[in-house]
Amino acid sequence: QVQLVESGGGLVQAGGSLRLSCAASGSIFRIALMGWYRQAPGKQRELVAAISSGGNTNYADSVKGRFTISSDNAKNTAYLQMNSLKPEDTAVYYCRVVGDGMDYWGKGTQVTVSS
C-alpha cells in the first residue's frame, strides 16, 4: 500500500512563501511522475506543477516564475517552493504520484494567502 504524506501548508500573507513536501512511502518501486494540483472552493481541481522521473517539469501559466517543483528520487519526495504568493493561490493543494502503473493522491494540505 502506498501512502502520500503532504506537509508545509498554512496561512501566509500575500507576497510570502511556503514550501510543500510530499513523501511517498510503501510498496512503490518506480515513480514516473510527481505533481501538485490544487482546488479552490467552487472550482475544479487544476494542475499546478509536475515533474517526471527524468526531471522534466510542467507548470500552470498562473504560477510560472513564482513556483518551483523539485524532487528527491532517492527519498520518493517532491517539493513545491511557492514564492510571491497571491490571494488567488488560496486552495487545497494535493500531491499526485504516478508509479508502477498506478495513480495515487494525497489527502491535501490547505494553503491560505491573505491580502
Per-residue pLDDT, 36:
98
Per-residue pLDDT, 28:
85
Which string of DSSP letters, residue by residue, matches 55-113? Answer: --EEE-GGGTTTEEEEEEGGGTEEEEEE-S--GGG-EEEEEEEEETTEEEE---EEEEE
Per-residue pLDDT, 9:
95
Per-residue pLDDT, 108:
96
User: Which pLDDT tens digit goes with each residue over 85-109?
Assistant: 999 999 999 999 999 999 999 999 9
Q: How far apart are CA 58 and CA 68, in angstroms?
A: 10
User: Which pLDDT tens digit goes with each residue over 19-64?
Assistant: 999 999 988 889 999 999 999 999 999 999 999 999 999 999 999 9
